[in-house]
Amino acid sequence: MSSPVDPTKTQAWPRLADLFENFDPDLRAWFADDPERAATFTLTAGDLHVDLSKNLVTAEVRDALLELAEQTGVLARRDAMLAGEHINVTEDRAVLHTALRRPVSDQLVVDGQDVVADVHAELTKVYAFADRVRSGDWVGVTGKAITTVVNIGIGGSDLGPVMAYEALRPYGDAGPECRFISNIDPTDAATTLTGLDPETTLFIVASKTFTTLETLTNARLCRSWLLDGLRQVDALAPDDTADRAAVAKHFVAVSTALDKVADFGIDPANAFGFWDWVGGRYSVDSAIGTSLVLAIGPENFADFLAGFHAVDEHFAKAAPAENVPLLMGLLNVWYVNFFGAETHAVLPYAQYLHRFPAYLQQLTMESNGKSVRWDGSEVTSDTGEVFWGEPGTNGQHAFYQLIHQGTRLIPADFIAVANPAHPLQDGDADVHELFLANFFAQTRALAFGKTEAEVRAEGTDESVVTAREFSGNRPSTSIMAPELTPSVLGQLIALYEHITFVQGAVWGIDSFDQWGVELGKQLAKELTPAVAGDEVALAAQDSSTVSLISYYRSRRDGSGRSPA
């Protein structure tokens, strides 16, 4: 790849700086003066209806941001990514999560391999396995059908599957229940396994290299739980052959390390692979989504993939001024680099999306939390922002105070669907309409606020007038869809994947590596002997770490409980 363009050295950057210097946002006036503002800044991507009109943007700012994208080579880098060039330079890899959802009729040869054919070959294996489990043809070692699937993974091998499973629960009525273990805290495994029947439980171990510390530790805990449980009901002979037979019927893997999979006891024929051009946080639409396929079925998963592809096509082909992920990514750059925004709220008014903000935390912050550019030079501007959020009216009663009246600018994305999965009435009231009234009201309140004059006109005591004033001009984007289908969920994920890409491309960073997660893991391995009682290893640590480990060891009684 060529060296990144320094965004601060482009002609567009000082133009944006000048626009910001003289910027006096007034959403009330903008809407009053331009009856077409909402229409001008409302766009469509797939089934997503995206209203950008309540952002702090004018046509002049939008055009300057599009110039910045052109001058930093965002669209050229997009095209290079889609073509399979090795834009992940620190790992010398292509970045091809978009190939995971291309139709079988497509062809894309990268490094001598038709990656689309490879993807569909693996999908065929996953779909066939899912059909066997869902139909009851695949049974456990005692002949009972599988009723519960436990996905063991961490990071992208957990956040994507659990988010999508929660989002698409209404589509999972014919499949097994899914549970998820990720944290190495033993509480996670212990509580997740509580109440399960070893005879009807299937485990998916999701680790590309089959070496991930947390995942393999939890996998061994689950293997012991399975074998112990089967023995307690006299379903398993006390020998290694019986153990391996049981593991082979109750464990499958998502991994390419077939030798390690086999050593664990999993039949390599029941290992589903993916490729080094798929980053973990971009992998829910690969075999990492096997638990989701088991839950919602191959047909719905194919619809999920089609949703991704619809937004991929939009990002690849829509004109820049109508390109939703391009514009949303550029707006984020506008807020981060010129307004100094440090966080970004994602507020789904759809309860099934309650894990979506957590999913986006990894996608955005692991991708763009970088301080060097892809050529190793230091960045020339701020990068990344903290993504966070909670669903619906829960957040209104928790942190919206800060968004409405705090001193910090917090751009916010509001997400809602027109048709709920569970339409309910409270007397004559449509509860979903009550819910969406809040969705519409919040973006209006953020945009237009309430003036002192309006507060006084309500007869408010003068002593609290200023406390009840709302400044307005707090930016938000509204994203709506007809309903939360597998396709719509895929579209939402792809939208944010490409928003993240756009920001990284402007900043000149490699959004597809994650070296920042490695140091802590490396040090944890080095510290393990000290924690376990190795005095030499302990003495080699800094005084704070020595003090903390000594505190722990003096209070650990060996039973897993602190002494009284």
Given the residues 60, 299, 322, 397, the one annotated as active site = 397
Any catalytic annotation for residue 166? no
Residue 258 near residue 265, CB atoms below 8 Å? no
Report strand pairing: 109-110 vs 113-114: antiparallel
Residue 350 near residue 391, CB atoms below 8 Å? yes
Q: How far is CA 293 from CA 83, 91, 165, 172, 203, in A?
A: 28, 30, 9, 9, 14
Classified as helix, coil or strand, 179 is strand
Residue 176, token pair as written in the block:
């097994």
Residue 103 near residue 198, CB atoms below 8 Å? no
Across the beta sheet with 386-388, what order do the strands follow? 42-45, 48-51, 476-483, 412-419, 343-349, 386-388
Longest Cα–Cα distance of the chain, Å, equals: 82
> Can you give the C-alpha Rg of the chain in angstroms?
26
217 contact partners, CB below 8 Å, separation of at least 6 = 184
Given the residues 122, 166, 214, 366, the one annotated as active site = 366
Cβ count near 144 (within 10 Å)? 15
Any catalytic annotation for residue 366? yes
DSSP assignment of 195-238 equals T--GGGEEEEEE-SSS--HHHHHHHHHHHHHHHHHHHHTT-S-S
Torsion angle, alpha carbons of 445, 450, 455, 457, to 10: -100
Any catalytic annotation for residue 208? no
Say what angle helices 74-83 and 59-71 make with each other, to 10 degrees.
50
Query: Residue 51: enclosing H or E segment and its boundaries?
Result: strand 48-51
Classified as helix, coil or strand, 297 is coil
Phi, psi of 137 (to 5 degrees): -70, -40
For residues 446 and 98, what is the distance between their CA atoms, to the nearest angstrom?
Answer: 35
Catalytic residue IDs: 366, 397, 521
